[in-house]
């Protein structure tokens, strides 16, 4: 249709304008979603926040205005993970600017905002050594993919200037992977202090704590549900003589091979623990969705080679598995904003063929 015909039929012009408005939002200044794969129907307006390096485990403040995450970038003088915070952009032209909040010493991991939005908690090895701890030599273990459980890790609370105001754990073992309850009063974390990799819940005010897992295997990466009634975590459960032997040998060397993990859920006090997934390989980084019923997690179960990782949703009873993301490399660490409207995650997408992992946010569409 040409301009003259449009001009002669104002109703047609109006109809066409409405169609364009509904179907071509990018013409009106919104995202063209060039970072979204066509099949990613739950994600809209994906925006990349970091560029270059290894950026992961980005988590929202309770008011939804800021993110805290860990970053390694050798070219920027960050040889191993340190903690950074930044304000979430509120407009397309606002940059995501972030700053170091950890000490810059040792290695850090798993940061989380406190309820007042004025402090963070995170694990750090800086008291054990100012240097980055050594990376395990995987060749000694058949080139298996392994994680170190550095005994130098303890959990600290710092204000937003980076000043450490409190040390929350003080064991001679691995204390890390901490998150907080929705009311901000309880901390759930992972420790090896009792001879296995277990979950503990601490009352932040009193320091009193309770061990809530008691089965051989790795228990970690735990979260409370948004309504505070449940917890969710990743777990390995070696059962054969061979797998138990391998697990114990690695644990004795302060290592774990996180290649066979499933998603578990329990009541907030650790009771009624039950397995949700049973797919084999690595099903991990789970968290409850805003309704405190459904679950989102990362998995490589579709691929025998163990790669890529994508995001999936599932009901707590293990039904209705749905694939959310489609990157050919790595999508993981999903977390919904407090209002449930946005999601933050880490991904290899748009990294130009490098190994860079970056932080992305997107609108969530049911």
Domain with residue 57: its CATH number is 2.120.10.30
16 in a domain, yes or no?
no
**Residue carrying structure tokens 């959310």:** 324
| Mean pLDDT on 332-356 | 97
pLDDT at 159 over 80: yes
SS3 category, 109: strand
* Cβ-defined contacts of 204-213 (< 8 Å, 24+): 204/168, 204/180, 207/168, 210/269, 210/270, 212/188, 212/266, 212/269, 212/270, 213/270, 213/273
Task: Look up the domain containing 167 and give its range.
Answer: 41-364
| Mean pLDDT on 248-265 | 97
What is the model's pLDDT at position 26? 37
**Residue carrying structure tokens 């090895």:** 125
CB proximity list for 278: less than 8 A, separation 6 or greater: 262, 318
| Mean pLDDT on 271-296 | 97
pLDDT in tens, 22-74: 444 333 333 458 999 999 999 999 999 999 999 999 999 999 999 999 999 99
What is the model's pLDDT at position 33? 86
277 in a domain, yes or no?
yes
256 in a domain, yes or no?
yes
252 in a domain, yes or no?
yes
pLDDT at 8 over 80: no
6 in a domain, yes or no?
no
| Mean pLDDT on 127-145 | 95
| Mean pLDDT on 95-101 | 98
pLDDT in tens, 207-230: 999 999 999 999 999 999 999 999
What is the model's pLDDT at position 32? 54
When comparing pLDDT for 48 and 18, which is higher?
A: 48
Domains held by the chain: number: 1
Cβ burial 218-253 (10 Å sphere, 16+ → b, else e): bbbbbbbbbeeebbbbbbbbbeeeeeeebbeebbee
28 in a domain, yes or no?
no
Question: What is the Cα–Cα distance from 84 to 315, expressed in whole angstroms?
Answer: 33
Question: What is the Cα–Cα distance from 214 to 221, expressed in whole angstroms?
Answer: 16
46 in a domain, yes or no?
yes
Task: Please report, for residues 50, 211, 213, 366, the alpha-carbon distance to residue 200 in angstroms, rounded to integers and kept in the order given.
Answer: 32, 4, 8, 34
- Considering the entire predicted model, what is its pTM? 0.90
Task: Please report, for residues 66, 76, 164, the alpha-carbon distance to residue 354 in angstroms, rounded to integers and kept in the order given.
Answer: 27, 16, 35
pLDDT at 365 over 80: yes
| Mean pLDDT on 171-196 | 98
What is the model's pLDDT at position 20? 38
Average pLDDT value for the chain: 92
pLDDT at 352 over 50: yes
192 in a domain, yes or no?
yes
What percent of the chain shows pLDDT beyond 70? 91
When comparing pLDDT for 307 and 244, which is higher?
A: 244
């Amino acid at each position: 249709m040409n301009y003259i015909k449009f001009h002669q039929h104002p109703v047609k012009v109006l109809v066409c304008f409405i169609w364009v408005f509904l179907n071509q939002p990018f013409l009106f200044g919104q995202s063209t979603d060039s970072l979204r794969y066509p099949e990613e129907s739950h994600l809209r307006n994906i925006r990349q926040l970091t560029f270059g390096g290894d950026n992961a485990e980005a988590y929202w403040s309770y008011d939804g205005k800021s993110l805290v995450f860990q970053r390694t970038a050798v070219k920027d003088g960050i040889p191993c993970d340190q903690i950074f915070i930044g304000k979430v952009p509120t407009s397309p032209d606002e940059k995501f600017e972030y700053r170091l909040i950890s000490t810059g010493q040792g290695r850090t991991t798993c940061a989380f905002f406190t309820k007042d939005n004025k402090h963070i908690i995170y694990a750090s090895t800086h008291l054990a050594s100012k240097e980055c701890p050594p990376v395990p030599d995987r060749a000694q273990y058949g080139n298996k993919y392994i994680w170190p459980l550095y005994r130098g890790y303890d959990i600290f609370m710092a204000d937003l200037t980076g000043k450490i105001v409190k040390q929350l754990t003080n064991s001679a073992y691995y204390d890390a992977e901490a998150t907080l309850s929705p009311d901000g009063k309880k901390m759930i974390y992972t420790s090896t202090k009792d001879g296995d990799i277990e979950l503990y819940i601490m009352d932040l005010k009193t320091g009193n704590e309770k061990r809530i897992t008691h089965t051989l295997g790795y228990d970690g990466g735990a979260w409370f549900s948004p309504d505070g009634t449940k917890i969710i975590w990743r777990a390995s459960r070696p059962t054969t003589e061979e797998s138990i032997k391998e697990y114990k040998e690695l644990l004795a060397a302060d290592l774990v091979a996180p290649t066979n993990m499933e998603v578990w859920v329990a009541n907030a006090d650790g009771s009624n623990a039950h397995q949700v997934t049973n797919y084999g390989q690595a099903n991990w980084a789970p968290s409850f969705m805003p309704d405190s019923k459904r679950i989102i997690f990362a998995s490589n179960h579709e691929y025998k080679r163990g790669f890529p990782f994508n995001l999936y949703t599932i009901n707590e009873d293990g039904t209705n598995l749905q694939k959310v993301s489609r990157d050919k490399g790595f999508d993981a660490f999903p977390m919904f904003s407090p209002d449930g409207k946005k999601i933050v995650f880490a991904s290899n997408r748009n990294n130009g063929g490098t190994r860079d992992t970056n932080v992305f946010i997107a609108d969530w569409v049911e």
